């Protein structure tokens, strides 16, 4: 097992970095979704009335 890990250490490290990036992206997207932000940058969260609007949904 240890030999396999040693042989594939570079691949494991790259995969781990990619996995972390993917998890961060998903967490970020879930947070944005909860805030009412969209991926386009123009959304409810950017509106001056966002604090008052759709209170019942918050």
Partner 1 sequence: MHTFSGAVEHALAHIEEAAVHDMPQEQQRWYAIKIFERDEKILNQLKLDKSVLDHIEDDIKAAENELDDDAESIITNERYVYIASIIKSCYRKKNVVKLSASDKIDRVITNRWLALPIFAIVMFIVYYVSVTTLGTIVTDWANDTLFGAWIQPGVQSLLENIGAAGWVVSLVVDGIIGGLAAPIGFALQMAVVFILLAFLEDCGYMARVAFIMDRIFRRFGVSGKSFIPFLISSGCGVPGIMASRTIENEKDRRMTMMTTTFIPCGAKLPVIALISGFLMGGAWWMAPLMYFSGIAIVIISCIIMKKMRIFAGEAAPFVMELPQYHLPALRGVFLSTWERVCAFLKKAGTILFLCCAVMWFLGSFGIQDGFFGLVDTEYCLLATIGGAISWIFKPLGFGTWQAVASSLSGFVAKEGIVSTMGVLSGLGSVKEYGASMHAQFAAFFPTGIAAVSFLFFNLFDSPCLAAISTLSRELGSRKFFWFALLFQNVLAYCIALMVYQIGGLIVGEVAFSIATVVAFAVLALILYLLFRRDPNKQSLRLVEHSENRMAA
Of the pair 1, 42, the CB lying nearest partner 1 is at 42
Minimum gap (Å) between residue 27 Cβ and partner 1: 11
Backbone angles phi, psi at 51, to 5 degrees: -70, -30
Q: Is 54 helix (H, G, I), strand (E, B) or coil?
A: coil
| Residues making contact with partner 1 (CB under 8 A) | 8-11, 14-15, 18, 21-22, 25-26, 28-29, 38-44
Of the pair 1, 49, the CB lying nearest partner 1 is at 49
| Contacts (Cβ under 8 Å, ≥6 apart) of 43 | 36, 37
Q: Is 5 helix (H, G, I), strand (E, B) or coil?
A: helix
Minimum gap (Å) between residue 40 Cβ and partner 1: 4
């Amino acid at each position: 097992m240890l030999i396999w890990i040693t042989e594939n250490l570079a691949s494991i490290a790259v995969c781990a970095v990619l996995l972390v990036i993917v998890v961060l992206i998903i967490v970020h997207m879930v947070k944005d979704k909860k805030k009412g932000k969209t991926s386009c940058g123009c959304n409810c969260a950017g509106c001056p009335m966002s604090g008052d609007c759709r209170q019942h949904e918050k």
